[in-house]
Amino acid sequence: MPAKKTNAAKAKSKPKKTYYYRIFFDDNEAKNYMKSKLTHKQVEKYLKAYEKTHQKFINKEFVDYLKRYDRTAELIEISDISY
């Protein structure tokens, strides 16, 4: 008789993808990227909700807001290098 598959075997699933986004919409005109496990559609949904409650858009504040829904969300800051 074949062995039955257990729930533990079914629970193993593929790890979620990490997405990287360029953030264009900072009021301080900062160039930033962010990484998150949220899809583009989900980020847009939370962006609209964020814009309803905030008058200024700051990348760092938006990523902090996203951390409510994705603990792995992280801001990637871009800075100039001169030598």
Where are the domains positioned within the chain?
Answer: 17-77
Phi and psi for 36 in degrees, rounded to 5?
Answer: -160, 160
| CA–CA distance, 22 with 15 (Å, rounded to integer) | 23
Sheet holding 74-77, edge to edge: 19-23, 32-36, 74-77
Indicate the DSSP class of residue 35: E
* E-state strands within 1-83: 19-23, 32-36, 74-77
pLDDT-above-70 percentage for the chain: 78
- Read off the tokens for 16: 């979620």
Q: Highest mean pLDDT range out of 5-9, 19-23, 24-28, 54-58?
A: 19-23
Structure tokens at 27: 């009021």
DSSP state of 72: T
69-79: average pLDDT:
89
CB 43 within 8 A of CB 21: yes
Would you say residue 52 has pLDDT above 70? yes
pLDDT at residue 36 is higher than 80:
yes
The reported pLDDT for the residue numbered 10 is: 53
Please check the confidence at residue 2 and state whether its pLDDT lies above 70: no
- Confidence at 37, pLDDT banded by 50, 70, 90: very high
